[in-house]
Structure 1
Amino acid sequence: MSVHGSDNLMIPLTNYGIPCMSMGFLVDDVAPIVWRGLMVMSAIEKLLRQVDWGSLDYLVVDMPPGTGDVQLSITQNIPIAGAVIVSTPQDIALMDARRGAEMFKKVNVPVLGLVQNMSVFQCPNCNHQTHIFGSDGARQLAETLGVKLLGDVPLHLNIRETSDRGKPVVVSSPDSPEAEAYRKVASAVVQRLKEVRP
């Protein structure tokens, strides 16, 4: 990881104009990350305050599912504009999503809404659609929680292949339905942020 200047800030990796930093960049490629408590907060502090983020419109923090040390440390130490809960439509994932949403509500972080990931699989050969993980689970949970469904992201080979090549689907196939799904979610998040922070 490279650093610069007298302040010794880490330089984030940047792809298509979007800077990125990860706990995974701070450890060996094959080393497991089994941090708890103070180690988690120390790593989060490094990622937030010791990185040269430059001028940002938004800072998105991708957290593991659940209600563990990472979530609690961030919510207790950093002002958060809102949380986006991402879940597949299957029941077991929705249980974690609900716990996460309830935790954010309890600590007064607005839940901007839910995103239903892997909502439908479309066969690349015949275009038949299959709801492998169930249908509309996140939509139903959003209604139960009284929050918005921000969008659906399909399970599509193109998304995985382009991500693996380091060229996201919104760049590599900007006119595809998959790219449109991501743009729709991004627009919905921005709109919700305007609503909760006018």
Structure 2
Amino acid sequence: MPTVELLRDALSTVIDPEIRRPITEIGMVRSVDLDGATAVIGIDLTTSGCPMKERITDDVKGAAGKVAGVADVRIELGVMSEEQRLELRSKLRGGKPEPVIQFTQPGNMTRIYAIASGKGGVGKSTVTANLAAAMAQDGLKVGVLDADIFGFSIPGMLGVKGQPTRLDDMLLPPIAHEVKAVSIGMFVPEGQPVVWRGPMLHRAIEQFLADVYWGDLDVLLLDLPPGTGDIAISVAQLLPHAELVVVTTPQSAAAGVAERAGSIATQTSQNVVGVIENMAWLEQADGSRLHVFGEGGGQIVADRLSKTLGTTVPMLGQVPLDIVAREAGDAGTPVVVSDPQSPAAQAMREMARTLSGRQRGLAGRSLGVTPVSR
């Protein structure tokens, strides 16, 4: 015969699709009872309009139905009380009742890469979306913050629909291709511009970092706007351990501007981990390469930044012009997912593995050791 203990064990395997933790751990299981061979399970959703209600219901029925002796499963849905939601938010914040930027807390080991460019149109957002999807395919827990407030494009490139779920003052980010993503574009009506000045931009980035439940991420990518304006400065202030990846095209004009975007590290004390050259060439039918935008821009940026910063800034790789990559981005599916064998996908997957495999610095981090006197 089934028991309540066996049912609870089965329910511990059900993972909330937004929070990504067992529903038994986050207080969603209100009650577990048996009426003969029928399992009667009370589930409290985080919000009354929970977009994942059907999926959670199906997953609970599936898990409980696998318990030997259970002939039927009845779900009694409810909604968390204000006290339950407060307790849940505190638990998700690591016991802290108020929002904090988790990435600056002692012991946090998330790698943070800010994808920067000197000018627009070099494919920075395409690179960001594909790096994120490639890392997620390799099993990493990845988040993307679309920091390009005026020119947001991450929702479209990742195929994210709708807004984050609100848990009072906490936001649960949508997940696409196993990547958590947040963008101001999720809150702005289509076609409406964002007309903000410096302080509002800073506050927006701060809220995206503190009010969003990112969970335990391996990597956080930030898609920065072009140039060295307010947002680049705010990111340096809010995330002092963020490292820069500079994206350019081979064109000399683009390379010169990209160098300035990387040189901001001299004033913000950030580390530039490398340069990505996008639109490097167009492969012809006969196998030859047509260098539409010239050659060598990426290496020029890497060499000049190395000299300016006094440290080696490597070329992380070159991404060829690829119609498949453009079509994939327009369709909301990164090319590393839709066509992993394409030249652009292979180049970006290799760069993603280079970035995810880098050693994490220990500066400013707790080592968990206590000095002793002899």
RMSD over aligned Cα, in angstroms? 1.9
SS in 2 for 1:28: coil
Shift of 1:175: 2.3
Answer yes or no: is the 8 Å Cα contact 1:121–1:129 preserved in 2: yes
Measure, in 2, the Cα distance between the counterparts of 1:180 and 1:197: 31
Which of residues 126, 132, 145 is equivalent to 2:292?
Answer: 132
State the match for 2:346 in structure 1: 180
Q: Does 1:152 align with 2:318?
A: yes
State the match for 2:303 in structure 1: 143
State the match for 1:162 in structure 2: 328
Answer yes or no: is the 8 Å Cα contact 2:165–2:173 preserved in 1: no
SS in 1 for 2:222: coil
State the match for 2:266 in structure 1: 105
Shift of 1:160: 0.8
Length-normalised TM-score, structure 2: 0.49
Answer yes or no: is the 8 Å Cα contact 1:117–1:152 preserved in 2: yes
Length-normalised TM-score, structure 1: 0.89
SS in 2 for 1:21: strand
SS in 2 for 1:179: helix
Shift of 1:76: 1.5
The one-letter amino acid of 1:99's match is R
Shift of 1:158: 0.5
Shift of 1:168: 1.5
Number of residue equivalences:
195
Q: Which has the higher helix share?
A: 1
Which of residues 180, 190, 194 is equivalent to 1:19?
Answer: 180
Matches within 5 A, 1:110-129: 110-123=271-284, 125-129=285-289
State the match for 1:57 in structure 2: 218
In the alignment, structure 2 segments of 5+ residues that lack a partner are 1-162, 307-312, 364-374
Shift of 1:20: 1.1
State the match for 2:253 in structure 1: 92
SS in 2 for 1:51: coil
Of the structure 1 ranges 155-164 and 91-100, higher mean CA displacement relative to structure 2 is found in 91-100
State the match for 1:38 in structure 2: 199
Measure, in 1, the Cα distance between the counterparts of 2:184 and 2:362: 29
Answer yes or no: is the 8 Å Cα contact 1:105–1:111 preserved in 2: no
SS in 1 for 2:185: helix
Q: Does 1:171 align with 2:333?
A: no
SS in 1 for 2:264: helix
Shift of 1:163: 1.6
Shift of 1:113: 0.7
Q: Does 1:4 align with 2:166?
A: yes
The share of aligned pairs that are identical, in percent, is: 37
